[in-house]
A and B are shown apart, each in its own frame.
Chain A
Amino acid sequence: MKQLKYLLQKEFLQIRRDKTIFKMIIALPVIQLLILPWAATFEQHNISLGVVNNDRGTYSRRLIEKVVSSGYFKLTGYFTSYEQALKAIETDEADLLLEIPGHFEDNFVRQQQTDVMLSVNAVNGQKAGLGASYLGQIIADFNRDVILQQGIQLDLVNLINVMPYFKYNTEMNYRNFMVPGILVMLLTLIGLVLSSMNIVKEKEIGTIEQINVTPVSKFTFILAKLIPFIIIGLVLLTIGLFIARLVYGIFPVGNILLIYLFALFYLSAFLGAGLVISTYSNTQQQAMFVAVFFMIIFLLLSGLFTPVSSMPEWAQTITIFNPIRYFVEVIRLIFMKGSRLMDILPQLGAIIGFALFFNTWAIMNYKKTS
Chain B
Amino acid sequence: MNSAITTENLTKQFGDFTAVDRISFEVAKGEIFGFLGANGAGKTTAMRMLCGLLSPTSGKGTVAGFDIYKQSDNIKRNIGYMSQKFSLYEDLSVAENMRLFGGIYGMNSKAIASKTDESLRELELTNDRNTRVKSLPSGIKQKVSFAVSIFHTPEIVFLDEPTGGVDPIARRKFWEMIYHAAEKGITVFVTTHYMDEAEYCNRVSIMVDGKIDALDSPEKLKNTFMASSMDEVFQSLARKAKNS
Contacts and interface: CB of A to CB of B under 8 A. Distances in A.
| A–B contact via C-beta, under 8 angstroms | yes
B207 interface: no
Contacts of B101: 210, 214
Given A14-B91, A18-B91, A213-B81, A369 B53 contact: yes
B204 interface: no
Given A368-B52, A369-B54, A369-B55, A206 B86 contact: yes
Contact of A210 (B79, B88, B106): B88
B21 to A, nearest CB: 19
A207 to B, nearest CB: 5
Contacts of B88: 207, 210
B91 A3 contact: no
Contacts of A151: none
A366 to B, nearest CB: 13
Interface stretch (A4-12, A43-51, A59-67, A319-327): A4-12
Interface in A337-370: 368-370
A213 B79 contact: yes
A209 interface: yes
A220 to B, nearest CB: 9
Contacts of B53: 209, 212-213, 368-370
A215 interface: yes
Interface in A194-231: 205-207, 209-217
Interface residues on chain B, size class: 20 to 34
A209 B85 contact: yes
Interface residues of A: mostly helix, strand, loop or mixed?
helix
A215 B53 CA distance: 12
B99 A6 contact: yes
Contact of B104 (A209, A214, A370): A214
B93 to A, nearest CB: 9
B83 A370 contact: no
Given A14-B91, A206-B87, A209-B83, A3 B104 contact: yes
B96 interface: yes
Nearest to A224: B104
B195 interface: no
Interface in A17-35: 17-18
A217 B76 CA distance: 11
B164 interface: no
A113 B48 CA distance: 92
A215 B52 CA distance: 10
Contacts of B220: none
Interface of A: 2-3, 5-7, 9-10, 13-14, 17-18, 205-207, 209-217, 368-370
Interface of B: 51-55, 72-73, 76-77, 79, 81, 83, 85-92, 96, 99-106, 132, 158
Q: Which 7 A/B pairs are nearest by Cβ-Cβ distance?
A: A6-B103, A213-B81, A206-B85, A215-B76, A210-B87, A215-B77, A206-B87
12 contacts: A9-B103, A10-B89, A10-B92, A13-B91, A13-B96, A14-B91, A17-B132, A214-B104, A214-B105, A215-B73, A215-B76, A215-B104
